[in-house]
Amino acid sequence: MRPARALINPDALRHNLGRVRIFAPHSRVMAIVKANGYGHGIGWAARVLSDADGFGVASVEDGVLLREAGISKPIVLLEGFFHPNELTDLTAHRLDTVVHHESQLWDLEHIRDVPHPIDVWVKVDTGMHRIGFPPAILAGVAKRLKVCMNAGRMRVMSHFPTADNRFDAQTPEQIRQFDVLTRNLNVERSLANSAGIVNWPSSHFEWVRPGIMLYGASPIIGLPAQELDLKPVMTLTSELIAVNLRRKGEAIGYGGDWRCPEDMPVGVVAIGYGDGYPRHAPPGTPVLIHGVRVPIVGRVSMDMVTVDLRDLPDAKVGDPVVLWGNGLPVEEIAEHCGTISYELLCRVAARVPRIESTISA
């Protein structure tokens, strides 16, 4: 078996759900498991998070998959349905839908033969300017849903663009606007993502919607997950498959643009962009071997990464290598690569086996 694997820790995932409950003790928790559970496996994540009060997904297929896996809690389609022909599956599997656009509202009002009403989360746009009804028409939308035969229980939600910045002036204004807008609708409300949960207690309302913090990465730039007592759920690991002594001046890998500054050992790790390790990880991005951070050198290949072993002269073929996870926060790797932890986690390729493990790598 190829040694590249993603160890996924159910204790850490449950622990992080517990942290959400401590941050937001009066709210119900909609665990966000879209994008294959942020790369961890959607069925696995939902099963481990069975104590959550509901789940958020991005497709009817994912909702059906969770129902077929025996999940009976509410499941919410975060962008709603994409085509009215999905409404039959939606009702058959009791999936809740977001309604964010006039076209969806119209479909819901006009489709026939829906066997029973669908619970709706109306999305209002309080400043993300991506999806959602303008605040000015929310009351009108709510009125239409009240008389819509196909709409069941109504709830209201919105989303934050900048809640990770605790000095941001837009976020408290969004919270205030959302509160005022929805106060008299007498429905359950949801606003906070992970950053809102951590930074903005007044945004918690009846439902919070954590994603990234469940998986143990910090939602706040510059604030380590450890300080929030979040534990990494995924540890991406592989092994050294070669240790070679290189001469001063020798070029390493594709393009040959990284040259050895002296005679030195260079290790080869069996992982690459074909596994979802970012190809644009620059030289200097750390990997962890025997608890020691060593930098990658040269370019990331499809199946391999080369590392500078000058600080680990005893490293040998077969030694385990951590690319991120326990002891090496994924946020740190993301920062080296000019991206965010979310992208690294959800891009781990299908060929990397997810292996449940409670043992720290």
Ligand X SMILES: *Cc1c(COP(=O)(O)O)cnc(C)c1O
**H or E element at residue 62:** helix 60-68
DSSP codes joined into one string, 176-228: HHHHHHHGGG-S-EE---HHHHHH-GGG--SEE---GGGGT--SSTTS-GGGG
Q: How far is the CB of 32 from ligand X (least distance, A)?
A: 4
Could you confirm whether 38 is annotated as catalytic? no
Cβ 23 vs Cβ 198: under 8 Å? yes
In the complex with ligand X, the residue whose CB is nearer, 114 or 128, is: 128
Q: How far is the CB of 351 from ligand X (least distance, A)?
A: 25
Q: Where are the beta strands (DSSP E) in 247-283?
A: 264-269
In the complex with ligand X, the residue whose CB is nearer, 9 or 193, is: 193
In the complex with ligand X, the residue whose CB is nearer, 43 or 219, is: 219
In sign, the C-alpha dihedral spanning 24, 29, 35, 39 is positive
Told to check if 36 binds ligand X by CB under 6 A, we report no
Told to check if 19 binds ligand X by CB under 6 A, we report no
User: Among residues 143, 248, 254, 316, which one is catalytic?
Assistant: 254
Could you confirm whether 34 is annotated as catalytic? yes
Binding residue (CB under 6 A) for ligand X from 41, 219, 253, 267:
219
CA distance linking residue 252 with residue 246, whole number of Å: 9
CA dihedral 162, 168, 170, 175 (to 10 degrees): 80
In the complex with ligand X, the residue whose CB is nearer, 54 or 286, is: 54
Told to check if 138 binds ligand X by CB under 6 A, we report no
Told to check if 78 binds ligand X by CB under 6 A, we report yes
Told to check if 344 binds ligand X by CB under 6 A, we report no
Site for ligand X in 176-205 (CB under 6 A): 193-195
User: Among residues 34, 38, 231, 277, which one is catalytic?
Assistant: 34
CA distance linking residue 108 with residue 88, whole number of Å: 11
In the complex with ligand X, the residue whose CB is nearer, 29 or 321, is: 29
Q: How far is the CB of 70 from ligand X (least distance, A)?
A: 23
Cβ 12 vs Cβ 38: under 8 Å? no
Told to check if 253 binds ligand X by CB under 6 A, we report no
Cβ 230 vs Cβ 21: under 8 Å? no
Q: How far is the CB of 125 from ligand X (least distance, A)?
A: 12
Enumerate helices (H) and strands (E) in the chain, giving the number of each: 11, 16
Told to check if 127 binds ligand X by CB under 6 A, we report no
At residue 108, the 3 state secondary structure works out as helix
Residues that bind ligand X (CB under 6 A): 32, 34, 78, 159, 193-195, 209-212, 219
Residue numbers annotated as active site: 34, 254
